Structure formats: C-alpha cells, structure tokens
Structure 1
Amino acid sequence: MVEGIAEYGRGFKPPSMHELRTWILKAEVDGINLIYEEHKGMEKYGCTIMSDGWTDGKNRSSINFLVNSPANTFFLKSIDASTSTKNGELIFKYLDVVVDEVGEENVIQIVTDNASNCIKVGEKIIETRHRIWWTPYAAHCIDLMLEDIAKLKIFSDTIEHAKMVVKFLYGHGTILSLMRKYTNGKEIVRLAVTRFATLFLTLQSMYKVKRSLEQMFASEDWVSSPLSQTTQGKIVKKIVVNDPNFWSHVAFCVKSVVALIHTKKRNILEHAKLNALVFVKYNFKLRERSIRRRDKIDPIVVDEINSDDEWITEKEGPVLLVTTKWQKMMNYLKVILL
C-alpha cells in the first residue's frame, strides 16, 4: 500500500474515514465473495468446516467458521455469541446452517474443540448428517492434557515457584531493568493462546536464562538494591540460587511438555464492520498463502475414491502377521465363537 502511494507521487488524497467504513469496505467484501466463488473447487475435492469459539477478558464470545479444502482455506463468517449460552443445541444450530450454506454434499468433516458441549454436537452431527464426520480440535485436546499435567505435584510445585519469581521480577521496575541487563534484553514471560501453554513456555524461557538469573542474584547490583532485603526478595533469591531442586524440576517440566505446545493467533470480532475487515484481511492472507503453495498441491479427488464402506470400521482390530499359523488360530477362534 505504501509503495502504491509513493508511485502515485505528490497530490495523493487518501480516502476519508467515512469512505473507508462504507463503500470501500463493501467493495472489498464483494471482491472476497468473488474469490469465494472461485474457491468452490471444494465441490470436486470436498471440504472441512472448522468452528473456533473464543471468549475475551470481558466475557464477550464469538464463534468463527472457516472452510478448508485441498485447494484453499476460506474464512466464512463470525457469529457474536455474547448474548447466548453456548450449549450444544446452539452450536449445532449454527453449524447446521453453515453446512447448508456450503452444501452438505461438499462437506467431509466438521472440526470443533473438545469441550463436552461440542462432543454432543459431534455426536448429533454424525446422527443427522450420515456422510459427515466430526473431529475434535487437536490444539484444544493438547491444552486439556497440559491442564491435567499441571495438576501433578512436581509440575504444580515448580509452576508455583516460577510464578513467584516472575511476579517479583516483573512487579518492580528496577528489578525488571536489572534482569534485562543480565539477560541481554531477553524476556521470561512468553504469551501463548492458553494459560497452560503460557505457563510451560515461560518455564522454558526461564531455563534458557538460568545462568543469567543466578549471576544477577549474586551480583553487587542485587545486593545494593533495597528489594534484596525484603522478605519476598529473599524468598525469590533462595528459589533461584539456593534451591537444589528448582532448576532440575524446571528442566524436567520443559522436556516433558513443551513439544506439545502450538501457538496461534486468534481474531476477536466485536461488531459488524470489524467482522467485515477481518473477513477481507483473513481471506487475502489465506489466498496469498494458497498461491505460494499451489505448485506443491496434489489433492485427492473425492470422486476417485470408491464409495464402499468396507474400509471404515468403528474399532480397528490388531494387525497380525500374514502366516498360516495366525490363519489357523483365527479359524479356530471363529469356530469357538460360533
């Protein structure tokens, strides 16, 4: 955009705020809708509908819907659910409408998070839409795993001690400045999508600057600070320098769970115009990524797959070696069971 303004040269008159909020935004939305029409290659390949709910610090809720296919990913719409209770019936109703908009014949699966109300929605979708599968959102499953892991004693104790250290370091300007001096500007707190991911990523950051923190609490800068004589300061120093188990436990926690953590950015939509802005920006970004990857795509055409259901089973049996020994045993078991 800046390059375009520079090429225009002197005399460029930017659009007014009113123009940006009205006809220009509408024109961009119309342009994205045209791209969506091109995206309808999902009729050939099939697609996945992804539902992602989010609640901000003010307890405002939104549910975003995206359509993914081998050809592209498209942000479809967002629904403000702040005034509604996000129970299974409501989410099912929203998803049902989205499936009709996209076309049931084009949808292969629906992906939601793993909350109890969404599990019920998944079961109901499978009952009412017999050709559509429901799949839980992997990142949410990982977050639930992290929540349970954080309750284990070695993890909970280590996290509590780390919280005390971080709260002390970031709660006092002079100490925070001192920490940054010894860590060469590196921060400890690493924000992630969820509280539990943030906890473990912060532990990882702490461990990376372990030596720097130990040097700081052993330095003259720390000794000369009035905060070094406070009760909280002495406790924090004891944790960082004198606790024989703290750092080994931090290392254990980091090695155990950090590989599970994936971060992502979320869009929180507050009103109709912001919804339209995200609609445009999100889909432009997805389109740019799709163009970059287009040469690498080798999609599987749904029509080329046999419609037999023999390969779909509710529960997989054990994989046995193909030998006459196993075959005789299986025949023997069949005789007994019959």
Structure 2
Amino acid sequence: MCKGVKPHNMRDMQIDMDQAEARPMASIPRTITLLGSLTSSTASVSQSMPSRPSEPKRRGATTVEEAFNTRARDELDSIIARMFYTGGLSFNLTRNPYFSRAFTYAASNPIVGYKPPDYNSLRTTLLQREKAHVERLEPIRGSWKQKGVSIYSDDWADVQRKLLINFIAVSENVPMFLHYVNVEGEQKNRYFITEKFEDCIRENTEANAIAYAECNWITKVSDDALMIKNFIMNHSMRLAMFNEHSKMKLLLIADTRFASWIIMLKRFTMIKRSLQDMFVKEKVLDDLWWDRVDYIIAFTASIYDMIRLTDTDKSNLHLVYDMWDTMIEKVNVVIYRHEGKRENDPSSFYDVVHKILVDRWNKSNMSLQCLAHSLNPRYYHETWLNKNIHRQTPYQDEEISSERSKCLRRYYPNADERRTVNLEYARFSTVLDTFSDPDALADRGLMDPKLWWVLYGSSTPNL
C-alpha cells in the first residue's frame, strides 16, 4: 500500500467501489408483480434479482410445496377466477358437475397441444352432437304409450340442504329422469304428493299431445318450405332458373342458428313472386299455404324480437319482465285477430302457445328480474300504466312482490338491514319525501332509469 495514502483517501475509494458495484445491480430488469398472481410473480422477481453477498439466501420450496405444486394450483385458480370476472359468468356455474369434471379430466389425462373449443364449434358441431345424444332418449319416451310406464319419486337434499323430490319414469327397466320439485317449506302429505304426481303426468303426456295436435301444422309449413329450398339449391338447373327470376338469394341457414326456420320463412315471403313465376307447382301457387306462412311470421314476430333484444351485451335486466308481458299481449292480439274471436272467447291454439311461453318463463325467471322491474321508475308512471287496463304498479302485483321479497332476503339476510331497505322501497313506490318532487314525478316516464336514480335517489342509498 502506498504510504502517501491517508485514511480519508481510503474511505473515499471504498465509497467509489461500492457505488461501482451497485450500478450494475440497479440496471437489472425487474419483473412487474401482477395482482392476480402474486405468488408466481414474487417467485420470478426473486429469481431475477441476484442476492447480495451480505444477504442470507432465501429458503427454496418445501417438500410439501413440491408435492402438491401449490404455486401452479394458485396460478390456475387465478386464471379461472379471471375467466369468471371478465366474462360476466354466474358463480353458480361452479356448482355444475361438468365444471369440475372438465378440469379433473384435463388434469388426469394430459393432452399435448389441446385447445378448448372455439365459438363456432360450440354453436355448431358440438351442439349437434349433444342434440343427437339427447334425441336418443326420444324413442324410449315414444314407446311408453305401447309398453306402459311407471312414475316413481324419491326425496333428497342438495348441497344447500334444500329438500327436493325427483320424478323418474321407468319402462321395461329403463329409467329416465323427468324433473325435480323444490319442496322446501312445504308439508309433504299425501295430498301434496298426489298433486305433484298429477302435474308430472300432465306435463309428460296429455299436455304434449295437445300441444302437438295444435302446433303440428306449423311444422308441416316449415317442412314444405325446407323441401322447396332444398329442391332449388340441390339442382343446378333449378338454381339457375331461380337466379334469373330473383335478385335475392335463398339463405343456407344452419339448424343451430337462432330461429333458423323463422328466418327462412321471412326470406320466402320476400321472394314469393319470384317463386310463383318460376314454378307451376301446387304448393308454391297455393295462396292458403302462403297465408299460413304469413300467419306464422306474424305471431312469432314479437317472440323473435324480444329474444333478439335480450340476446345482447346491453343492460336490460330491468326491462325483461315488461318485455315478456308485452310479447304475450302481442301474440294474443295476432292469434285472436286471425281467428276472428273476441278477447273473452276461448282459443285452443292460443292456450297451447300461452302455456309454452309461460312454462319457458317459469324456467328462466329469476327473482332479480322482478326486483329490477320493481326499481324501474317508468313502471310507476301513468304513461306506461294507461297503455293497458290490466297493467298495475309493481308493488300491487302479487308475483312481482313475492319474487322481490325473496331477492331482498338473499341480499340482506340481516332483518334490521332488510327492514331499512323495505322502508326505502315503500317511500319510492308510494311517492313519499323527496320522490314527491314534481320533476322526479315527471321524469319517471321520460328519463333513463339509471340517470333518474342518479338525480333523485340520494335519500335511498341502499336501493
């Protein structure tokens, strides 16, 4: 060591050496920690940052972590959770047995290069495969009339401890599940069981036979249209003749497309004149057949439009209940006008159509839809109420009130909190306090519901 070097010079050189060693360390890129995968990100950061000599080395993964691969499990859980959150999926999907079965099968049978089905596969080939699988059961159901059938029932409790009753049909030792009934809170005496058995029998025998007898003509009309379309499309000469008479093309619509046969009949009415000019054929020139086509399109138009409106990304939960009621009203008007009947006259065809629509509503109806309907200020305004004499405010409707109460009990299990919410709803529905403001009353029937609540809902924060 040079004798001219003083102690303060040694300290300065040591500081310069420490700074030189720290400069490369600071330039090393670091991995950004994601909120959804904190465990895996922390591990990658620790791997990318070399430890200082003065720091003790971090302990590696334990034997338990290696055995159960906990980091990979946590990462997979985070990916599945993001799928639910970003896709707006219902958490009830996790209770579907196929949800857990899919991941269990994938973990037990590693398939190299496997890709999950895409949008088109789910709506075409895979849907057709499942449809064919379900249709294999139809011959069994069709043989009941000749071979006889017995209906059995048993009760059990699901994972939520709800009491359920299963109904199973058995014919020649071949069982088939029919449906189940939630009997929570019901008294299971012989009268109740008998009533449920009678409902099950009617649903699977008489009702289906009546519906088939009343609606079979619709199937015949659609089959005729399909036959004509296939006759033209499958013969090049006929297709060339059709193209000469019509500027519009026949649509090749897959059966899996929404309302495919209605779309096909609509196109037929648009090219009606071209088909009549092209053919000298009884079916195409028959005005009665075309009248049936127009009738089918007319009474299904409101059903088609309602489903199209709900099958969007737009928020319309608060409109579903009213749209469904309005749709049934329009179907009633078209059918009764076509049959030349008054409102109170019986119509066997409308009764069948109405029962199908009501059954579909009962299967898809949610308490949340009734709650959203109750909170829409438009349905308390005279503009909406005066459009039909049968309309009434949501708090006066027994079904809506019952379903709204069920929904609020789920949202607010605490009785005191629920009482506060019920009081807020009472003030809103009966126009008390701030809701009696003239602007608030006038805007109920004019303004978007969400904007209305922003302006006038400050006194009811829970609603």
Q: TM-score, normalised by structure 1?
A: 0.35
- Report which of the two structures shows the higher radius of gyration computed on alpha carbons: 2
Question: Larger RCO: Structure 1 or Structure 2 (Cα < 8 Å, ≥ 6 residues apart)?
Answer: 1
Give the TM-score normalised by the residue count of structure 2.
Answer: 0.27
Q: Greater share of helix residues, 1 or 2?
A: 2
Instruction: Looking at secondary structure, tell me which structure has more strand per residue.
Output: 1
